[in-house]
Amino acid sequence: MQTFIYTNKKADINNQEFEVVETKGKGHPDNICDTLAEKISIEYSKYCIEHYGVILRHMIDKLSVLGGGSRVHFKNSEMIAPIRVLINGRFTDRYKDEKIDYMKIVSKVIKQYFKELFPLLDIEKYLLIIDNTHHNEGPGVVYDSNETSKNERVKFFEVTSKEDIARHNNHFRCNDTSTTVSYYPMSNLELLVLKIEQTLNSMSYKKKNPWVGSDIKVMGLRKKDKVEITSCIPLISKYVDNLEDYQDKLSRLKSDIMSIALKYFDEDKITICLNTRDDYSKNDLYLTAIGSAIESGDEGAVGRGNRSRGVIPFSRNFSMEASCGKNPVYHTGKLFTAIGDNISKKIYEKYKIENVVYCTSKMGDKICEPWNISVELNKEVSEKIKKDIDNLVKNEIKNHEKVTDDLINGKIKLNSY
């Protein structure tokens, strides 16, 4: 495999005239789906390693949620309809004579995370987990006239022999034709947007301000050196006495956000807006029972939220691969997202060159020999540095099994939570 390394002499991201960035907080329905899918994949993988010594085939990257219903008042609110988590995907459900109760793993992960995220939610009453999984093998199996097939995919999601066990690494072949995009470093605006969400959703902040919900969305927009931040932040009604109290708490939030922003930009260049849809005359407020729009009908799906750096960087090239919940062994939308992120960061750390890494796979290729890796640098470099980067890329891909280990052990995270 030869790395294609080229130069695009664009300005550093912080010096470009326009930039817009978004992040969806951990209580946003899309982020909830990403987080659950990844946690489920990790826990299923760990279970398989512990019991069978191999990560069995699975994919949970189509998980989605359907919002419940709530009735909101100042000082108190109530749920009136359950939140539904749709488990859309496939798992290996049999290992030789043993039936694998994967839904037990799935349910445990979901309930633990919802308890952590929404302490005011009665999960036994207002959380439904709906099993939409199946075990169909996917396209590629052709049967003969006797209705039999020699294709190993007939038993794609079960293990009946030693040969089946070996096949669950897919011979380290790429499962898909896909492209992932990675970049480094993050811009000041990206770092600011991410810092706002992570600060307001931190345990320490919530301890002091329990009225702040978790479904926090932050949009940052920079025109030259002028920065505008708009954030939607749900308040939890249990801790809000009346409209005046609501307004006062928003003012405190605005002040806290400004304090964070001043670490990145000058005060006279910053504009901050909060909960811009509020209409006080109509009692149209972002006031919630549990702290998220998921309580009142909002839906979410894996892949619609933040990219692997924790933001949605609209001013950059980025991949729409839904990496969370994919099999960490050979699903290229996941594996090459992690590999590309590693490569990009290491290039910057060693050479201080802003860069973009494109990893493109063809279905059936060996993971260690993908179709193409292209590295875009924003300044000219010597042939020696190009050769060093090429070696860096090859070494990172060669060590893809370590990347798999890092994914399931939490050393690499493909979303913020």
Same domain for 316 and 403, yes or no, is yes
Report how far residue 390's alpha carbon sits from residue 384's, in angstroms, rounded to the nearest whole number.
10
**CA-based nearest residue to 258, from 207, 172, 199:** 199
**pLDDT at position 417, please?**
76
Residue 280 lies in a domain: yes
Same domain for 283 and 250, yes or no, is yes
Please identify, among 267, 292, 317, the residue that sits at the C-terminal boundary of a domain: 292
Residue 149 lies in a domain: no
Other CB atoms within 10 Å distance of the CB of residue 360: 18
CATH number, domain containing residue 254: 3.30.300.340
Same domain for 278 and 326, yes or no, is no
Same domain for 275 and 325, yes or no, is no
Residue 194 has pLDDT above 80, yes or no: yes
If one compares 114 and 137, the residue with the highest pLDDT of the two is 114
Contact 127, 83 (CB under 8 A): yes
Please identify, among 292, 324, 354, the residue that sits at the C-terminal boundary of a domain: 292
Contact 262, 220 (CB under 8 A): no
**pLDDT at position 302, please?**
97
Sign of CA dihedral 151, 153, 158, 163: positive
Which amino acid appears at position 115 of this protein?
K
Same domain for 261 and 339, yes or no, is no
Report how far residue 369's alpha carbon sits from residue 376's, in angstroms, rounded to the nearest whole number.
20
Residue 148 has pLDDT above 70, yes or no: no
Residue 134 lies in a domain: no
Residue 257 lies in a domain: yes
Same domain for 240 and 277, yes or no, is yes
Residue 78 lies in a domain: no
Residue 307 has pLDDT above 90, yes or no: yes
Residue 117 lies in a domain: no
Peptide bond preceding 185: is omega within 30 degrees of 0, i.e. cis? Answer: yes
**pLDDT at position 50, please?**
96
Tell me the pLDDT tens digit for each residue of 96-110.
889 999 999 999 999
Same domain for 282 and 329, yes or no, is no
Instruction: Give me the domain span that covers residue 385.
Output: 3-16+177-186+305-408
> 71 pairs with which residues across the strands?
78
Residue 154 has pLDDT above 80, yes or no: no
Same domain for 282 and 227, yes or no, is yes
Residue 150 has pLDDT above 60, yes or no: no
Same domain for 377 and 313, yes or no, is yes
Average pLDDT over residues 388-401: 96
Same domain for 267 and 403, yes or no, is no
Q: What is the DSSP string of 125-187?
A: HHEEEEE--B----TT----TTS----GGGGTT-B-SHHHHHHTTGGGB--S-EEEEEEES--
**pLDDT at position 338, please?**
97
Report how far residue 17's alpha carbon sits from residue 54's, in angstroms, rounded to the nearest whole number.
50
Q: Strand, helix or coil at 115?
A: helix
Contact 385, 351 (CB under 8 A): yes
Average pLDDT over residues 67-72: 97
Residue 201 lies in a domain: yes
Report how far residue 153's alpha carbon sits from residue 140's, in angstroms, rounded to the nearest whole number.
8
Tell me the pLDDT tens digit for each residue of 16-49.
999 999 999 999 999 999 999 999 999 999 999 9
Residue 235 lies in a domain: yes
Buried (b) or exposed (e) across 131-147, using 16+ Cβ within 10 A?
eebeeebeeeeeeeeee
pTM above 0.85, yes or no: yes
If one compares 135 and 51, the residue with the highest pLDDT of the two is 51
Report how far residue 216's alpha carbon sits from residue 295's, in angstroms, rounded to the nearest whole number.
14
Same domain for 182 and 309, yes or no, is yes
Instruction: Tell me 358's DSSP state.
Output: E
CATH number, domain containing residue 331: 3.30.300.280
Same domain for 272 and 214, yes or no, is yes
| Number of structural domains the chain divides into | 2
* Category of 317 on φ-ψ map: left (φ > 0), alpha (ψ -120 to 50) or beta: beta
